[in-house]
Structure 1
Amino acid sequence: MKGSTYRRCYCRDAETGKPLGKSCPQLKTRKHGTYSIRQELPACEDGSRRAFNRAGYTTLKEAQADLDHIRSLLGIPDSDDPEGQTAIAEMLEQVADEKSPIPAIEETRRRFNTGQQLIGRLTVADWLDRWLAAKRVRKSTVKRYASDVRVHLKPRIGHVRIDRLRVSHIAEMFAAIEDTNAKILEGNALRRTALAELTAVPWKGLENRARRKAMKAAVDDMPPFRKTTGPTARRHIRSTLRAALNDAITEQIITFNPAAYVKLAAAQKPKALLWTAERVAKWEETGEKPSPVMVWTPEQVGAFLDFVTEDRLYGMWHLIAHRGLRRGEACGQPWSETRLDSGSVTVSSQLVPEGADVEESTPKTASGFRIVALDDGTTAALKTHRARQEAEREKWGEAWVDTGRVFTNEDGTWLHPDRVTDLFERLVTASGLPPIRLHDLRHVAATLMLAGGADMKTVQEMLGHSSITITMDIYASVLPELAKEAAEAAAKLVPRQVRNPPAHASLTQEAS
């Protein structure tokens, strides 16, 4: 392929203003004009010619060095590799169009030999878009990935070339998130204070009404209440980025995953607490829950189940409270995997909310596939539920939708998990019991087993946790309280005539 260096002149005729070009009388002088290079590239697929052109070199030596550089790049593919030659030509064509630096020879050779993109123009945002579009996982997972990408990753590091992404870029991103959190907390506090001041102003009187109007206008101009990005959310963001960059390594776009080396503060998971009499009394007084994760005592569980005995989904509440199925698992449990004669259910599917719709999915983790033994009371509750469902089927006739699920709407259609949660919360409120979430009813099942003497491994397998560490972390705060209750129950078995001997009894014995 032909290549050459030559001088260019940018002088213009004094009268016409036209470029003199090669006719300039000074072009032959050594210091006049600039040098340019032109290198023929492999032809396009349609046979048309293309070339690498670059101008502006001040010395012949600089121009010749770049021309030799380009020839070395063109020599990377073998002569019998037309696809490789085309790839190098397209790379050089892009470099010429963008007037960007010519890629290093050894780096280009490494990328060429490993099948990577030859020119690193792919940004983090470009890759994240491509990665999300190709991701084939459950919709809820993709939705979480997309949220992390849209809200945090693309706005903060999307402009960085993916091959130049460093640990420092990601660390700075999380530092910026922390700064944003501080601003959100400050804004929320200011708005909360302003609302409190507005509430304190009386309604009566022209002066008060004018003052309220001005204060309300000031509140409306403030930013709305916003949620901060907490430790758990930050770990999710890092997890999303790490997964995306791991796939980029698999496709040989990059060779290093900086997200794997970013350290974040450990997320403090809320501890499960038992609704003891003291905590119930404080809740009744203040309305505050001691922890986001609260667990009923066996007596409170019994009171709730007694309250909902006539509810058409009583069998579901009983099953979750005693056997600890997840919400989606209970909604998706098929009769074909429910064996009431032998007393067991096989958890193999779940229903997942997608806005107003519902989709079927596999259990949350591999350990979610499990066989759960049923106690006699739960078996009886499910048999009663089956009889109720058969009555509903007869009532609806041909309009009945046979989904094969244990728990359904009255017409046989799938239950929406979010509506099941709403119903549970209404039932808890109506019962007058201290509040728990539907997911906490699953914790109740674990607590009942622990109180009954089951070991932690058995509880882990029943709940479908992927690790016993997860089980122990959740219930570490519940166990001492259960042990206290067990100790008190054991102490009551010992007959005593004097329950609380006087404090001075030992001193009296010593004196005698």
Structure 2
Amino acid sequence: MPAGHRQIPGTGLAGSVKGAHRVPKRPKEPHAKDPRKLASGRWQARVTYYDPETGKRHETSATFATEREAKKWSREQEMAYRANPHRTPADQTLAEFFADWLKTVEARGLAAKTVRDYRQMAAHPLNAFGHKALNKVTPWDIQQLYTAMAESHSSRTINYVHTVLKRALADAVDWGLIVSNPAAKAKAPRGQRQPVEILTPDEARQLLDATRGTRWHTLWALMLHTGLRPGEAIAIRWQDIQWDAQTLRVMQAVSGDGSRKILGPTKTERSTRPIALGSHMMALLRAWQAEQALQREVAGTQWEDHDLVFCTRTGSLLSPRNVARAFKQDLQRAGLPTTLHPHCLRHTMASHWLAAGQSIKVVSERLGHTSVAFTLQTYAHLLPTQQAAAAEAMDRWLLDEPSPRHPHEK
């Protein structure tokens, strides 16, 4: 027998010890797990299956009203994977597709809060027909979902679900998984957009007067002055302020809350932006910087230096929930309605700038909106008064009446 070879037991054949090929392991068989009852009272069906090429373990799931339905679906899925381990992507269920799609959404760099919102909205169609094959979902399935949701959800929530579903299935079309987007043919309820809540100029002054000398005064003033989102405002660092240029750079934002709060990218690409600051705001920030230096001395070794402009008494990241709680306390101190949220300061800035005749494009850029159209949709209720003022100015110009300023003068 040649060197390096040995007899294979039970065969009478010789084989190479060093070069012998290992017999690949047989892939594990797919199997259905027992359905489990969720806190909502529904039943979750689960099936484990394995990639025939890599042996990697996967799991697909769907929820049903009864345990019987869940077991039936599990058995059908198990048999389908046994019959065809090489199922094509189009054979995926909607639930399987969404699991993969949400991973790609995260990889695109969207804010963690946005991804969580997408996952939360996706739960509605997945609970209703997540067990269906991706290429079997119809516009009628989606329309029935919206009809059912209308009994217990606002039109705003249904429209958000529609946006997420439509976006995900549009990607499925682009990737060649389905021929057309069924969500594009479904009709979400219109509903009426709720007008934004704002403070009047007098109320804004009341708030600032009542909080003067407190640790929150500069934060409320900055949000009123800049229109920053609360999560953006508490993520500002001292290095983001360009003192000579009197400019603030919005570079990051806080998302989540409590133990889940994180400091990450802004909501969208356009949310990363420069914002011009006035002289009074710059003076407030200088004074607050000096006050914070004293707080750092008091905290001593407990101080965590994250370079944050607004932070806890030991320098750590503020919780959005605690900011909202402090805002309500300060509203009460100022004698204002405590139903308002810190986000109203952003709406207040935008509303008063538009009411004063500022360009909607400038306001949109300052707010970091994805488009001027979105700004227009949000604050459209303010524009009729501007239109009336513009009409009066045009009348004076056409009739050659004395006017303090020509319509085209800067």
Which amino acid letter does the alignment assign opposite residue 445 of structure 1?
A: M
Query: Residue 156 of structure 2: which of 232, 251, 259 is its match?
Result: 232
Q: Of the candidates 122, 126, 129, which is equivalent to residue 99 of structure 2?
A: 129
- 1:384 positional shift: 0.8
Contact 1:353 1:418 in 2 (8 A): no
Which of 342, 348, 352 does residue 448 from structure 1 map onto?
352
Deviation (angstroms), 1:233: 1.0
Contact 2:299 2:314 in 1 (8 A): yes
Q: What is the number of equivalent residue pairs in this alignment?
A: 314
| Structure 1 counterpart SS, 2:333 | helix
The equivalent position to 2:245 in structure 1, one of 342, 363, 377, is 342
Shift in CA distance, 132/484, structure 1 to aligned 2, threshold 3 Å:
closer
Which SS does the other structure have where 1:408 is aligned? Answer: coil
Structure 1 residues 263 and 416 mapped into 2: Cα distance closer, same or farther (>3 Å)? same
Alignment match, 2:275: 372
Residues 148-185 of structure 1, C-alpha deviations (whole Å, 9 max, x = no match)? 333x212211222212222122122222223xx1xxxx
Note if 1:328 corresponds to 2:231.
yes
On the 8 A contact 1:157/1:169 being kept in 2, the answer is yes
Residue 155 in structure 1 maps to residue 127 in structure 2: yes
Equivalent residue for 2:341, pick from 409, 427, 437? 437
The amino acid of 1:234's aligned partner reads: I
User: Bigger shift: 388-397 or 132-141?
Assistant: 132-141
Residue of structure 2 in register with 1:241 after alignment: 165
Bigger Rg, which one: 1
- Are residues 245 and 405 of structure 1, via their aligned partners in 2, closer, same or farther at CA, if it must alter by over 3 Å? same
* Residue in structure 2 matching 1:472, options 368, 371, 376: 376
In 2, Cα distance between equivalents of 1:391 and 1:331: 19
Q: Work out whether residues 331 and 350 of structure 1, in 8 Å CA contact, stay in contact via their aligned partners in 2.
A: yes
CA distance in structure 1 between the partners assigned to 2:332 and 2:266 by the alignment? 30
Structural mapping, 1:158-197, within 5 Å = 158-178=130-150, 181=151
Letter in structure 2 aligned against 1:306: D
- Residue type of the partner of 1:437? H
Secondary structure of the 1:465 match is: coil
Match of 1:261 in 2: 185
Q: Decide whether the 8 Å contact of 1:117 with 1:253 is kept in 2.
A: no
Aligned pairs (5 A) from 1:42-441: 98=79, 117-118=87-88, 121-132=91-102, 135-136=105-106, 137-150=110-123, 152-178=124-150, 181=151, 228-271=152-195, 293-435=196-338, 436-441=340-345
In structure 2, relative to structure 1, the CA distance for the partners of 1:412 and 1:161 (3 Å cut) is: same
**Separation of aligned partners in 2, 1:422 and 1:347:** 24
Q: Secondary structure, in 3 states, of the residue corresponding to 2:315? A: coil
Cα offset, 1:401, TM superposition? 0.6
When structure 1 is superposed on structure 2, of 137-146 and 321-330 the one drifting more is: 137-146
SS at match of 1:401: coil
Residue 409 of structure 1, CA deviation: 0.8
TM-score by length of 1: 0.56
What amino acid is the match of 2:147?
Answer: A
**Deviation, structure 1 residue 471:** 2.2
How far apart, in 2, do the equivalents of 1:254 and 1:270 lie? 36
Instruction: Tell me the distance in 1 between the aligned counterparts of 2:104 and 2:368.
Output: 29
Does the aligned pair in 2 maintain the 1:322–1:448 contact within 8 Å? no
How far apart are 1:98 and its partner, in Å?
5.0
RMSD: 3.2
Structure 1 residues 390, 248: CA separation in 2 closer, same or farther (over 3 Å shift)?
same
Instruction: Name the CA shift for 1:423/1:99 in 2 (closer, same or farther; >3 Å).
Output: closer
Q: Find the aligned partners of 1:261 and 1:452 in 2 and give their Cα distance.
A: 41
Which string of whole-angstrom CA distances, capped at 9 and with x for unpartnered residues, describes residues 221-244 of structure 1?
A: xxxxxxx31112112212222333
Q: For residues 347 and 316 of structure 1, what CA distance do their matches in structure 2 show?
A: 15
- Per-residue displacement from partner, 1:214-261 (whole Å, max 9, x unpaired)? xxxxxxxxxxxxxx3111211221222233333434554323221122
User: Aligned-pair distance for 1:266?
Assistant: 2.2
Give, as a single letter, the amino acid of the residue that structure 1 aligns with 2:118: Y
Q: Does 1:461 align with 2:385?
A: no
TM-superposed deviation, 1:450: 3.2
- Aligned-pair distance for 1:398? 2.1
1:413–1:482 Cα change, 3 Å? farther
What TM-score, normalized to structure 2? Answer: 0.68
SS at match of 2:131: coil
3-state DSSP of counterpart to 1:346: strand
Q: Does the residue aligned with 2:300 lie in a helix, a strand or coil?
A: helix
Q: In the alignment, residue 378 of structure 1 is paired with which amino acid?
A: M
- Counterparts of 1:422 and 1:256, CA distance in 2: 47
1:388 to 1:143, Cα distance in 2 relative to 1, 3 A: same
CA distance in 1, matches of 2:261, 2:253: 10
1:217 matched residue in structure 2: none
Q: Which amino acid aligns with 1:140?
A: K
Question: Counterpart amino acid of 2:121?
Answer: D
Task: Quote how far apart the aligned CAs of 1:355 are.
Answer: 4.2
Letter in 2 for 1:388: E
